[in-house]
Structure 1
Amino acid sequence: MNKKIFKTLEFTKIIQTMAGFTASDLGKEQVMELKPSTSIEDVMKWQDETEDGATILRLRGGMPIPRLQNVRPHLKRLEIGASLNGLEVAQIGKILRTTSEVSRFFETLNETGIELNTLYQVADNFITTPTLNQQIRETVDEDGNVLDDASPALRGIRSGIKRGESAIREKLDSLVRGKNAQYLTDAVVTMRNDRYVIPVKPEHRKQFGGVVHDQSSTGQTLFIEPQVVVDLNNRLRQLQIEERQEIDRILAEISNEIAPYGNEILNNMFLLGKLDFVGAKASYGKSIEATRPLISETNDVKLLSARHPMLNPETVVANDILIGGEHQAVIITGPNTGGKTIILKTLGLLQLMGQSGLQLPVAEGSQMGLFTEVFADIGDEQSIEQSLSTFSSHMTNIVSVLERIDSNSLVIFDELGAGTDPQEGAALAIAILDKIGSIGSYVMVTSHYPELKAYGYNRPATINASMEFNVDTLSPTYRLLIGVPGRSNAFEISKRLGLGNDVIESARQLIDSESQDLNEMITDLENRRKMAETEYLEVRHYVDEAEQLHADLQTAVQQFYSEREELLKKAREKANALVEDTQEEAEQIITDLRKKQLQLPYDGGVKEHELIDAKTNISNLRHEEKLAKNKVLKKAKKQQSFKVGDDVQVTSFGQKGTLVEKADNHQWVVQMGMLKMKIKESDLTLTAPEKEPTRRMVASVRSSSNSHVSPQLDLRGERYEDALAELDRYLDAALLANYPQVTIVHGKGTGAIRQAVTEALKKHRSVKSFGYAPANQGGNGATIVEFKS
């Protein structure tokens, strides 16, 4: 676009303001180079970036980018073999550290599920160098000072310097105290030419011997290095020279380490500048309360509640600015100081900002165009040097514009045709608008000519607009009225200011009938507009009441459901507490039954499956909230198809079995060990066939006291759910066999089975204690369980 428009519409001031939001020289450079684009791809990409920056600013307060320097000159010096100083190394190190921090920042954002349009891809291009970061961090501090620990030699030299300085100070402190103080102008130790000296009166210069390094401006003080510290100062100076040499060696070494990473550092520097630039766009947008506009490739511009970004958002009057679609030309009329020029500048400036990827101070749902050029003729551009009048200056500019516009240009003219005879000016203005219309450009102009009001009313694709004026207060309201031309308020204002009615009536008779008809038409349009506004406000009131009622109903319904769920939850908790108490009593009954069974004959004993059945029925009394509503489980059960011979899991018993035959439509006969039972189909789940056991011994649960139950259960190789089910059966069998203790072999592996065994043993009421086996019996690969007596 032409650069003149940036100055005319004050786009350069927007850039300068936004540069103040950058955190680094790198970001500031990119801000100062910002220009509008005519490519829809570029504008969309830039708007995506700005939206990402606004999202991060809202959720995280911005990106962690500190003040960074441009290190391109440093890297160029490395390319020619030069060494960097400490500050230059520190600046490069800061860029590398910031790269690592920003990379981690975006990784965290991604992990938390925050969605971004483009900045994740930008962050993926960072190249981290942890080894080089560590080397720089161990060599210099943030201010570029070489650290003591940069090398053992430097640490030793600096220790020597500290001891030497301490020895010199002790010597000099002894000289400036006591009787020697009378020879001094001040009892202090100071520095001259990097050597420690004392201020001595000229007449006593020989009292201390040594070397005179300086004197005061008055000549009343000599700064003397006493003879007793000359050798110490010489030694200190030698150590300082060695320190400088060692620092130069260390910096040359770290410079050689940095040199191979020149491209990576430049890449990271550019990306950090890019992110800083995006952050500045977002921060500036927040400062002007901006939103992202939609983009119309057909240049149908709808800037809703638009504000000029350089005006105070708390006092500026927001206006809907519309152009395009059915109206390629908008003619704004109205009194001076009514805000017409601000409307023109707002339209042009917001269009430049939007095409530069910036968010705009407009309401949500606003829409910008995509113009190849924006031209403007605003203000008094009279040139004394070129001997051009105001009219000539404007016309020269307009001629230049007409030569360059096309069908995708936006043209803004302030007071078109002004500065010459009104009749000729109006005719020129109409002819210029016709020319622009024939080319197809979009144009918004301001004018005082009544001929242009009629032009806007009669011309196709053209619409009138005006700035509202309050006759009662004799002041503008700064509201833009689309579709209503401005009218002269001279008679009304004159009457309110006290001009006589006879004079006003005489003036009315002097104006031609055409102008009077036009003013009457405008008055009628204004009255109709005010009536429409009144009706709108009344309807809006009823709509607001309906919306409030709807919101209240939604709140009431939500509160009802919340209270219902809370009551149900409390009822379930109370029921579960009752079931837990009952279950404890039932467990005690089952324990007593087992003890009695051991004392009864074999045939008269209580069957084990009866004990399991009783225990399962008690457990099923507990309310399960989630499983009953689990749609996935319901769907899975509906999809499973049973047939004779299938291996199944009986959910209520926690046992595995095999389908023998179908009893009826909803029940199957299931073989569980030696038992055959009718089970509901809804209580069955298909399982994979069991593998033949290889290493473990299966513990069979029998009610006979003479049956064999192994004192050891091997769960290695079992699946998690199968292992828990088998453990539960085995513990019941071991208790029935009256074992005082047993061993559970679960192996080490991933630790999942071991953890499951531990949790199950903690909850089992008959387990007294348990712990890992001794090292010679499996260690933490097996658990020894001791039962209660």
Structure 2
Amino acid sequence: MNQKILKTLEYQQIKKMLQEHVLTAFGQEKVAQLAPINDAELIQVMLNQTKDGVDIERLKGGIPLPQLENVRPHLKRIEIGAMLNGRELAQLGRVLRATSATVRFFEELAKSEMPLQALPELVDQLVTLPQLTERIRSSVADDGAVLDTASTKLRGLRSGLKQLEGQIRSRMDSYTHGSKAKYLSDPIVTIRNDRYVIPVKQEYRGQFGGVVHDQSASGQTLFMEPQAIMDLNNRLRQVQIEEQQEIERILAELSEAIMPERHQILANAELLGELDFVNAKAQLAKTLKATEPLINLENHVDLKQARHPLIAAEKIVANDITIGADYQAIVVTGPNTGGKTITLKTLGLLQIMAQSGLFIPAREESQVGVFSDIFADIGDEQSIEQNLSTFSAHMENIIQILDQIDDHSLVLLDELGAGTDPQEGAALAIAILDQIGIVGANVVASTHYPELKIYGYNRPQTINASMEFDVATLQPTYRLLIGVPGRSNAFDISTRLGLPESIVNQAKQLMTDDSQDLNNMITDLENQRKAAETEYQALRYEVTEATDLHQQLSTAYQQFFEDRETEMTKAKEKANQIVEKAEEKADKVITNLRQMQLNQGAQIKENQLIDAKTTLNELHQETALKKNKVLQRAKRQQTLKEGDEVLVTSYGQRGTLLRQIDAHNWEVQMGIIKMKIDSADIEKQKVVEDQRPQRQVTTVNSGGMRHIKAQLDLRGKRYEEAMGEVDQYIDAALLANYQQVTIVHGKGTGAIRQGVQEYLQGNRQVKKYEYAPSNAGGNGATIVTFK
């Protein structure tokens, strides 16, 4: 895509926003190399990667990557046989550790069954080198220092160095704190030329003997190595040399170990940079509140509520922009500062972002095309150096555009034909638009010329549009109106500003009939559009309501049949159980009769038969309540009315009936909570009168409600599961009359912590919430206080 359009539409500003989110050197390279492409399949792959990154950002806080330096020069040095220093090896070690951590992260994602489209294929290319990773980790610190654990010999040498340094300092202390301390300028021990020395006054140098290694600027102080510790210093220096030789040997071995793996390490670093780039794209999408654009291979662009990404969301008006399906050309008219230029730039920049694999600031389901190139003539390109006027500069630019466009191009022309005689400019504008139409490119052009309003009606595949202007406030609304040409508001504005009506009327009479008819036509169109829009909004609301109601009825209808089948199955099972028990008892009665008949011959007494018949009759289950006086009396006692004290059996909590909601549900006050309770869960309590004053006691049925702890632990749970538990726990804690509880959510990515606090903020029963003290979990736990 041509570089001029990228500059005109400020594409570099989008890349700067991306740069703020990358952590690795190779990620920086990916952002620097980012450019729009016209390969639809590759664009879709890039968008899929961005979507994966957005999903991971939303659920996991992003892919965990550290800051990584550019290791390409280090691997080049290894390739020519050079030895790396500790800092370079540490940077390579960070790449290897980041590779292992990233592979583990995506393995965990796979276990959680998060649906990812493109990134797993990318991560599968990472190759972990556990042995080399561990060897560098145990040998080199992050700052490049070689660790004692790098080798047994190095550990022994450093242990010997500490012992020698201790002996030397012990001997030196006899000089700084003994009888000879008076000969020193300061009672300290310092180092010169890697040897321990003491500051001796010039006149007392003979008191110590030994070697002078340095002197002060004034010459009054000599830094001397006393004769008595020269042997110790010599031994110390020898061990230091051996230590350095061992360090160089270790670094050389590590460099040699990296040599066969250099290509794989570089490939890993580049892949991590690409994942870092995906992270940055996800962060940018979050910042811009952007969504995934849908690719339309026929270049039908349908941007819904599109916003310019470089203008603050609270300052920009979102617009629907459509081109390519029903029309290939849009002619936008309207007043200056009405938003025409920003609309053109929004269309171009969002299309370029989409063809770069980025999400766009527009509503979901927005469609973009895949253009071979995008061209623009926007802004005043007057050139003093080239002695070009504004009109000449625009014409040169348009000539270049006409030479390069094809039927897969998008052309954006701002103030087409401006800067010359209006009649000539309008004629040129029409001819240019006709030529672009012949080629078949999509074009959006803004203009002030009224002739182009007629052009929008007369040409096929062309439509008028305008930027709305509110005459009442004398301000543009910045709304794009497709299908309605802009009209001159000069007369209306002049009248509202106080220009005498006689002057305005005279001006109207001076206008040609064609111009006046055109303005009247535009006014009628605007009125029709507003009426249609009002009717559309009302119809859309009614359709939405009807759709929701239909969905609810369908769900309820389905649920009814499912519940009916379930209850029928339960009833049949219960009936079968009753029949089985009845058969067992009947069999026992029959068996007893047979046994008596065998024992007593054919003579069975009448009372025995009556007893057996009575036993069989008892198997019949009474179903009519009106025949059961005991149940009838219990039902009368259970009659509920407002103000009754009741027990809610499902919660084991006493309460008071406030009002009957419907035939099966009551509103019950339980402590500070009002709840809708089914009548089947309510038991009326007897009121016992007592002359003594009684305290109101809240009774909790341990059988109906399990004991609620004052702390909820959410660590290790998934986000949705944790939020469900928080909701249930807060209700239970309120029913248990807790004044304060603690929710332990851990630190982690912060997603659960943020979700908990957003829930607490919206709960009206919560008085306040704050992090726990540092000794009680800090920001890993939240203390909740109820009202």
Task: Give the partner amino acid of 2:163.
Answer: R
CA contact (8 A) 1:22 1:28 kept: yes
Task: Give the partner amino acid of 1:338.
Answer: G
Deviations 1:102-146 (A, max 9, x none): 122222222222222122122222222222222222221222221
Distance change in 2, residues 1:439/1:236 (3 Å): same
Question: Post-superposition shift, 1:235?
Answer: 2.4
Question: Post-superposition shift, 1:574?
Answer: 13
1:486 aligned counterpart, secondary structure: coil
Distance change in 2, residues 1:201/1:488 (3 Å): farther
Distance change in 2, residues 1:421/1:79 (3 Å): same
Task: Give the partner amino acid of 2:535.
Answer: E
Question: Post-superposition shift, 1:543?
Answer: 4.3
2:332 aligned counterpart, secondary structure: strand
Partner of residue 614, structure 1? none
Q: Does 1:259 align with 2:259?
A: yes
> How many angstroms apart in 2 are the aligned matches of 1:517 and 1:289?
44
Within 5 A, what are the aligned runs for 1:169-318?
169-177=169-177, 182-216=182-216, 222-318=222-318
Partner of residue 439, structure 2? 439
Question: Post-superposition shift, 1:224?
Answer: 4.0
Question: Post-superposition shift, 1:315?
Answer: 3.2
Distance change in 2, residues 1:218/1:412 (3 Å): farther
Q: Does 1:104 align with 2:119?
A: no
1:312 aligned counterpart, secondary structure: coil
Question: Post-superposition shift, 1:181?
Answer: 5.1
1:383 aligned counterpart, secondary structure: coil
> How many angstroms apart in 2 are the aligned matches of 1:571 and 1:192?
99
Question: Post-superposition shift, 1:337?
Answer: 1.2
Task: Give the partner amino acid of 2:382.
Answer: Q
Question: Post-superposition shift, 1:488?
Answer: 1.4
Partner of residue 416, structure 2? 416
> How many angstroms apart in 2 are the aligned matches of 1:200 and 1:565?
104
CA contact (8 A) 1:16 1:32 kept: no
Within 5 A, what are the aligned runs for 1:21-420?
21-177=21-177, 182-216=182-216, 222-420=222-420
Distance change in 2, residues 1:455/1:251 (3 Å): same
Within 5 A, what are the aligned runs for 1:731-750?
none
Question: Post-superposition shift, 1:332?
Answer: 1.0
Within 5 A, what are the aligned runs for 1:594-605?
none
1:360 aligned counterpart, secondary structure: coil
1:254 aligned counterpart, secondary structure: helix
Partner of residue 637, structure 2? none
Within 5 A, what are the aligned runs for 1:567-716?
none
Task: Give the partner amino acid of 1:295.
Answer: I
Distance change in 2, residues 1:335/1:254 (3 Å): same
Distance change in 2, residues 1:73/1:513 (3 Å): same
Distance change in 2, residues 1:460/1:168 (3 Å): same
Question: Post-superposition shift, 1:347?
Answer: 0.7
Partner of residue 677, structure 1? none
Task: Give the partner amino acid of 1:392.
Answer: S
Partner of residue 675, structure 2? none
> How many angstroms apart in 2 are the aligned matches of 1:197 and 1:551?
91
Distance change in 2, residues 1:227/1:449 (3 Å): farther
> How many angstroms apart in 2 are the aligned matches of 1:57 and 1:572?
52
> How many angstroms apart in 1 are the aligned matches of 2:95 and 2:189?
42
> How many angstroms apart in 2 are the aligned matches of 1:381 and 1:59?
47
Question: Post-superposition shift, 1:397?
Answer: 0.7
1:230 aligned counterpart, secondary structure: helix
Question: Post-superposition shift, 1:288?
Answer: 0.9
Distance change in 2, residues 1:419/1:194 (3 Å): farther
CA contact (8 A) 1:417 1:425 kept: yes
Task: Give the partner amino acid of 1:505.
Answer: N
Question: Post-superposition shift, 1:571?
Answer: 12
Distance change in 2, residues 1:433/1:201 (3 Å): farther
> How many angstroms apart in 2 are the aligned matches of 1:186 and 1:515?
100
Task: Give the partner amino acid of 2:98.
Answer: T
Partner of residue 693, structure 1? none
> How many angstroms apart in 2 are the aligned matches of 1:325 and 1:429?
23
CA contact (8 A) 1:211 1:224 kept: yes
> How many angstroms apart in 1 are the aligned matches of 2:365 and 2:520?
36
Distance change in 2, residues 1:79/1:517 (3 Å): same
Task: Give the partner amino acid of 1:278.
Answer: V
Distance change in 2, residues 1:214/1:506 (3 Å): farther
Question: Post-superposition shift, 1:230?
Answer: 3.5
CA contact (8 A) 1:26 1:273 kept: yes
> How many angstroms apart in 1 are the aligned matches of 2:510 and 2:69?
72
Partner of residue 456, structure 2? 456
Question: Post-superposition shift, 1:178?
Answer: 5.8
Task: Give the partner amino acid of 1:500.
Answer: P
Question: Post-superposition shift, 1:232?
Answer: 2.7
Structure 2 length as normaliser, TM-score? 0.69
> How many angstroms apart in 1 are the aligned matches of 2:558 and 2:225?
89
Matched residues, percent identical? Answer: 60
> How many angstroms apart in 1 are the aligned matches of 2:400 and 2:526?
38
Task: Give the partner amino acid of 1:145.
Answer: A
Deviations 1:620-656 (A, max 9, x none): xxxxxxxxxxxxxxxxxxxxxxxxxxxxxxxxxxxxx
Q: Which moved more, 1:83-92 or 1:200-209?
A: 200-209
Deviations 1:398-430 (A, max 9, x none): 111111111111001111111112221111111
Q: Does 1:510 align with 2:501?
A: no
2:469 aligned counterpart, secondary structure: strand
Question: Post-superposition shift, 1:540?
Answer: 4.0
RMSD: 3.2
> How many angstroms apart in 2 are the aligned matches of 1:134 and 1:569?
63
Distance change in 2, residues 1:475/1:573 (3 Å): farther
Deviations 1:35-64 (A, max 9, x none): 211111111111111112112222222112
Question: Post-superposition shift, 1:330?
Answer: 0.7
Structure 1 length as normaliser, TM-score? 0.69
Deviations 1:571-604 (A, max 9, x none): 99999xx9xxx9xxxxxxxxxxxxxxxxxxxxxx
Task: Give the partner amino acid of 1:101.
Answer: A
Greater Rg over alpha carbons, structure: 1
> How many angstroms apart in 1 are the aligned matches of 2:183 and 2:563?
94
Count of matched residue pairs: 583
> How many angstroms apart in 2 are the aligned matches of 1:531 and 1:315?
27
CA contact (8 A) 1:303 1:367 kept: yes
> How many angstroms apart in 1 are the aligned matches of 2:568 and 2:185?
93
Distance change in 2, residues 1:563/1:375 (3 Å): same
Partner of residue 655, structure 2? none
> How many angstroms apart in 2 are the aligned matches of 1:28 and 1:81?
28
Question: Post-superposition shift, 1:220?
Answer: 6.2
1:431 aligned counterpart, secondary structure: helix
1:381 aligned counterpart, secondary structure: coil
> How many angstroms apart in 1 are the aligned matches of 2:84 and 2:321?
56
Partner of residue 642, structure 2? none
Question: Post-superposition shift, 1:567?
Answer: 11
1:452 aligned counterpart, secondary structure: helix
CA contact (8 A) 1:149 1:155 kept: yes
Question: Post-superposition shift, 1:210?
Answer: 4.1
> How many angstroms apart in 2 are the aligned matches of 1:555 and 1:174?
94
Distance change in 2, residues 1:555/1:199 (3 Å): farther
Distance change in 2, residues 1:153/1:398 (3 Å): same
Question: Post-superposition shift, 1:360?
Answer: 0.9
Deviations 1:367-426 (A, max 9, x none): 001100100111111111111111111111111111111111100111111111222111
